[in-house]
Structure formats: C-alpha cells, structure tokens
Amino acid sequence: MIDQPRTPEQRKADVLARLAAPVADCWVATDGAYLVPLTLAWHDDRILLVTSPTSRTARNLAAHGRARLGLGPTRDVVLIDAVLDETIPVTTSGAVGEAYAGQSDWDPRSAGDSNVFLALRPQRIQAWREENEIPGRTLMRNGTWLV
C-alpha cells in the first residue's frame, strides 16, 4: 500500500531532519561515476564532509567544484546537487569543527592535520518516497528553497 504523498513542506522538514540527524551518512559522487560513503554534518545551510585533502573526492571537488549526494533508502530518496563552497583545514576549523563533532560520532580534529572539511552548498534538492511523490520532488533549485 502506498501512502498519500507528503506535502512539499513536510518533505522539506523531512530532508532537514535527515541532514541534521546524528551520524548522518550519505553517498557522495564526484567526477561522474566516482562514489564513496561519507558521514555528513549540516551547519549554516551547508553540508560538511571530512576526508583527506589528497583523496579522490577532495581532488575532484577542487577541480570541478560539484558533487551529488544521495541519502536514505531507495523508497525514501534525497538527492542533493551541491557545489564546493570552501575547503577548511581541520586544525583551523573553529565552529565548523565543533558542528561536525557535535553531530558525528567522531571528531576529525583529534586526528591531527590529515583531513579537511569540505563545505558544500546545496543547489538542488529532490526528495520522494514512491511514484506518487515524483511530481513536485524538487524542493530546492539554484540554491533557493521552493517551499
């Protein structure tokens, strides 16, 4: 049985709740088919990821500035197209480091300077559960919420 479709406002609230959830995991695609799982944090309307500055993900973002993130199971999808807003060394991360550590199950600042925060700014967000939610699935376009 398929539930009634959520309102756009409810979908937005569900997306924001998922982004702010403790230990929120996602799949991150950069440069076409390159895909990795990472834990994210949501801070100041940006998605924070952590990785080595020499990782393929960090290098692809530095070169192309774009990523696609997927959250949730196949029957409760959130797809986010985002742009790299800033790369922040973990040793000088300030409020960003505090926000990530507060939402995650680890503090990358405790690992020394071997990682960076990648702050991504969402440009398009889509969310749907079933076929009946595909119409109106786009909740953000060009970095602006539509609801």
pLDDT, tens digit, for every residue of 34-45?
899 999 999 999
Tell me the two tokens of residue 23: 């230990």
* pLDDT of 137 over the 80 cut: yes
* pLDDT of 28 over the 70 cut: yes
pLDDT of residue 33: 76
DSSP string, 61-113: HHHH-EEEEEES-TTSEEEEEEEEEEEEEGGG-THHHHHHHHHSSS-GGGGTT
- Rounded to whole angstroms, what are the CA distances from 103 to 21, 41, 54, 98? 7, 6, 24, 9
pLDDT of residue 34: 85
Average pLDDT, the chain: 95
pLDDT category at 1 given cuts 50, 70, 90 is low
pLDDT of residue 125: 98
d(CA 121, CA 123): 6
pLDDT category at 51 given cuts 50, 70, 90 is very high
What are 54-98's pLDDT values in tens digits?
A: 999 999 999 999 999 999 998 999 999 999 999 999 999 999 999
Residue 58 near residue 118 (C-beta atoms within 8 A): yes
pLDDT of residue 58: 96
